[in-house]
Structure 1
Amino acid sequence: MDLEHDIEPVTALKRSAAELITRASERHSPVIITQNGKPTAVLQDVQSYQRQQRALHLLKLLAQGEHDHEDGRIHDQESVDSLVAARLAAHRGRR
């Protein structure tokens, strides 16, 4: 993000919204919108937003995995293989 060029007052958004949207889309960089000199909104292209949301989702999954590990809710491959084999054998035995 280029702080000199990627911060715009709300009046610039009102005056030239299409231009700011094009800029955000072409640069894949957000435009910070200010109101009364304070940052109040972010204008971001859809592709960057979707990438950001996917990254956030992955971070949440990683955090959940860490919590599961800390709480002992994980299994090694060998124990999972044994569990699956036992369940398959039990299922086949019911036929």
Structure 2
Amino acid sequence: MRYTSQIKPISYLKANAAEVLSLLCQERQPIVITQNGEAKAVLQDVASYEETQETLALLKILALGNQEIAEGKLKPAAQVVARLRAKHPAR
């Protein structure tokens, strides 16, 4: 994704905050805020932020799983299922 059309100076944000928020919610594209010509912050709508956080959480779980596999912390699925069934017998 290219952000070149979504780059705004901080002065634009200060002068047009309501418009920027509306644009964020409508377009669901992040906006890069610059100060003195340098990128300083990224603004995004709340829904996109929450999606990003959920995605990062899932990626972290996958990374931890891969790490456990690499460390040999594995159990056969049949053994896990048997243990779960023993803890929670059919009702």
Do both share a fold (TM > 0.5)? yes
1:9-88 alignment to 2 at 5 Å?
Answer: 9-84=9-84
User: TM-score by structure 2 length?
Assistant: 0.85
Letter in 2 for 1:50: E
> What is the root-mean-square deviation in Å for CA atoms of aligned residues?
1.9
Q: Percent identity?
A: 37
Cα distance in 2, alignment partners of residues 88 and 32 from structure 1: 52
Bigger radius of gyration, 1 or 2?
Answer: 1
| Structure 2 equivalent of residue 92 of structure 1 | none
How far apart are residue 81 of structure 1 and its match?
Answer: 2.8
Question: How many residues get paired?
Answer: 89
1:87–1:6 Cα change, 3 Å: closer
How far apart are residue 88 of structure 1 and its match?
Answer: 6.8
Letter in 2 for 1:70: A
User: TM-score by structure 1 length?
Assistant: 0.82
